[in-house]
C-alpha cells in the first residue's frame, strides 16, 4: 500500500514530536509511505521541530508553509500534492498506535474506497474506544449499508481514503470553518461503495486545552449551522433513499444540538447573535422533529413554539436539569 500521511500543524510544539515519532517508529511491513506536513502559519516552533525530526529520517517528506487559514485549508493543501494510493489525515497533537502499519499491511485494499479504523480517546491519561463497529468489524462491507448504519466516526483521522475515490467525487474540506469533519466525512461515506472495517484501535486522540472540542469560541456554533446547511443542501441534491435521509437528519440534528449546547459558555451578546442565527435557519429544525430522539424532538418543539427565545429557554431548562441531578 502506498500511503500519504497529511499532518496539518498549528501551535502544537509540545506534541508534534510524539506525533511524528509514532509514525516514524512503525514497523513498515509493506507500507510505502510519505509525509506531507502543512505548517498553517504556526507562530511557535512546531514547524522547526517537525523539520528537525523529519530531516533525520529516511522517509520522503514535504513541508508546506502557508499563512494561517485553518485546518480545512491545511488538509486541502496537503491533498493537492499527495501521491499515495491512500490518504491518512493525522492531527499534529495526536499519535498512532504501535501496530498501525502492521495492521494496515494485512488489508487487501483493492477496490476499497475507504478504510474505517478504530481509535482511542486519551483524556487525562485514560483511554476509551471511539467507535464500536460490532458486526462490521474486520470485514470489507457494502458502503451504502455502512453509511446507513451511522455508527461511523465523523473524525477524519479515523478513516483512510482511497485517493482516486476522493478525486472522483471532488471531496475536499469546506474552508475556514470548525467541525469541517462532520460535513466532509458524511459526504465521503455517502459516496463510498466498498469500505474495509479495521476494528483495531490504530489512532489515539489526545484531548488538550487547545483542542477544538474544549474551546468555547462562538464561531463554533455558527460554523455548526453552516455545516447543517451544507448537509441539508447535499441531502436535497443527492439523497432519495429514506434510510439515507434519516442519516442526514441525524447529522444535521447533531449540529443544531451542539450549536445550542455550546452557547452555555458564551457572553450575552453572543447568545443574542446565536438566537438570531438560529431563527434565520429555523427550517433546519424540521430535521430534529423527524429524527427519533426525544431530546431533539423537545428542542425542536420548543424552537417552533418560541423561535426567538430558544437559547434562553434552553439555558433555563439546562440549569433546572442540573439542579435536579444534584438532589
- Which CATH number does the domain housing residue 142 bear? 3.90.550.10
The pLDDT, as a whole number, for residue 125 is 64
> Does one domain contain both 56 and 133?
yes
β partners of residue 194: 142
Predicted model pTM: 0.92
Number of domains in the chain: 2
59-91 pLDDT, tens digit per residue, is 999 999 999 999 999 999 999 999 999 999 999
Task: Give dist(CA 4, CA 20) in Å, integer.
Answer: 14
pLDDT computed for residue 302 by the predictor: 86
What is the separation of C-alpha 298 from the centre of its chain, rounded to a whole number of angstroms? 27
Res 133: pLDDT: 84
Q: pLDDT tens digit string along 220-257?
A: 999 999 999 999 999 999 999 999 999 999 999 999 99
CA 287 from chain centre, in angstroms, equals 21
- First-last CA distance in the chain: 56
CA 38, chain centre distance (Å): 18
pLDDT classification of 322: cutoffs 50, 70, 90: confident
| pLDDT tens per residue across span 292-321 | 888 888 888 888 888 888 888 888 887 787
**Four-CA torsion 234, 238, 242, 244, nearest 10 degrees:** -60
Closest Cα partner for 301 from 309, 292, 289? 289
204 and 244 together in one domain: no
Of 194, 212, 230, which residue constitutes the final position of a domain?
212
89 plus 109 within the same structural domain: yes
State which of 193, 212, 231 marks the end of a domain.
Answer: 212
Q: Mark which of 176, 196, 212 sits at the end of a domain.
A: 212
Confidence category of residue 210, pLDDT binned at 50, 70, 90: low
174 and 290 in a single domain? The answer is no
> Quick one: average pLDDT of 267-274?
89
pLDDT of the residue at 211: 59
Q: Which residue has the higher pLDDT, 111 or 214?
A: 111
- Per-residue pLDDT at 264 exceeds 90: no
Residue 214 has pLDDT above 60, yes or no: no
The reply to whether 124 and 263 lie within a common domain is: no
For residues 200 and 118, what is the distance between their CA atoms, to the nearest angstrom? 6
What percent of the chain clears pLDDT 90, i.e. is strictly above it? 67
Secondary structure letter of residue 138 according to DSSP: T
Q: Is the domain of 91 the same as that of 193?
A: yes
- Answer yes or no: do 221 and 208 share one domain: no
Please name the helix (run of DSSP H) or strand (run of DSSP E) that holds residue 143, with its range, or none. Answer: helix 143-149
- Average pLDDT value for residue range 11-35: 95
Sign of CA dihedral 229, 230, 231, 236: positive
Same domain, 118 and 53: yes
Closest CA to 31 of 2, 58, 61: 2
3-state secondary structure of 35: strand
**Of 118, 100, 113, 117, which Cα lies nearest the Cα of 31?**
100
Domain with 265, as residue range(s), is 216-326
Phi, psi of 86 (to 5 degrees): -125, 150
Same domain, 203 and 231: no
Q: Give per-residue pLDDT as tens, 113-136.
A: 999 998 887 666 677 777 878 778
Across 111-125, 168-182, 202-216, which has the greatest mean pLDDT?
168-182
List the alpha helices (DSSP H) in 209-309.
218-238, 242-262, 268-280, 286-289, 294-305
Q: Are residues 119 and 226 in the same domain?
A: no
pLDDT at 205 exceeding the cut of 80: yes
Amino acid at each position: 500500500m502506498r500511503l500519504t500521511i497529511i499532518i496539518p500543524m498549528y501551535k502544537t510544539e509540545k506534541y508534534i514530536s510524539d506525533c511524528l515519532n509514532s509514525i516514524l517508529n512503525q514497523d513498515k511491513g509493506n507500507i510505502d509511505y510519505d509525509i506531507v506536513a502543512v505548517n498553517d502559519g504556526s507562530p511557535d516552533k512546531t514547524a522547526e521541530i517537525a523539520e528537525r525530526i523529519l530531516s533525520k529520517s529516511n522517509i520522503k517528506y514535504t513541508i508546506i508553509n502557508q499563512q494561517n487559514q485553518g485546518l480545512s485549508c491545511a488538509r486541502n493543501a496537503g491533498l493537492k500534492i499527495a501521491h499515495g494510493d491512500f490518504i491518512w489525515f493525522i492531527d499534529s497533537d495526536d499519535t498512532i498506535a504501535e501496530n498501525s502499519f502492521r495492521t494496515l499491511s494485512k488489508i487487501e485494499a483493492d477496490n476499497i474506497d475507504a478504510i474505517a479504523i478504530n481509535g482511542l480517546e486519551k483524556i487525562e491519561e485514560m483511554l476509551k474506544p471511539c467507535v464500536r463497529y460490532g458486526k462490521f468489524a474486520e470485514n470489507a462491507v457494502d458502503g451504502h449499508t455502512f453509511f446507513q448504519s451511522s455508527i461511523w466516526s465523523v473524525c477524519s483521522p479515523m478513516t483512510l481514503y482511497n485517493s482516486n475515490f476522493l478525486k472522483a467525487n471532488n471531496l475536499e474540506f469546506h474552508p475556514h470553518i470548525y467541525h469541517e469533519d462532520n460535513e466532509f466525512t458524511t459526504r465521503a461515506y455517502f459516496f463510498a461503495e466498498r469500505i474495509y472495517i479495521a476494528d483495531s484501535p490504530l489512532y489515539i486522540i489526545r484531548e488538550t486545552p487547545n483542542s477544538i472540542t474544549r474551546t468555547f469560541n462562538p464561531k463554533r456554533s455558527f460554523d455548526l449551522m453552516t455545516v447543517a446547511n451544507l448537509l441539508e443542501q447535499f441531502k436535497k441534491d443527492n439523497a432519495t433513499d429514506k434510510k439515507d435521509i434519516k442519516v442526514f437528519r441525524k447529522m444535521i440534528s447533531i449540529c443544531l444540538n451542539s450549536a445550542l449546547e455550546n452557547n452555555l459558555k458564551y457572553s450575552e451578546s453572543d447568545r443574542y447573535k446565536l438566537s438570531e442565527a438560529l431563527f434565520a435557519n429555523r427550517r433546519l429544525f424540521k430535521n430534529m422533529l423527524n429524527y427519533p430522539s426525544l431530546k431533539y424532538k423537545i428542542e425542536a418543539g420548543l424552537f417552533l413554539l418560541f423561535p426567538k427565545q430558544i437559547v434562553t429557554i434552553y439555558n433555563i431548562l439546562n440549569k433546572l436539569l442540573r439542579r435536579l441531578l444534584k438532589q
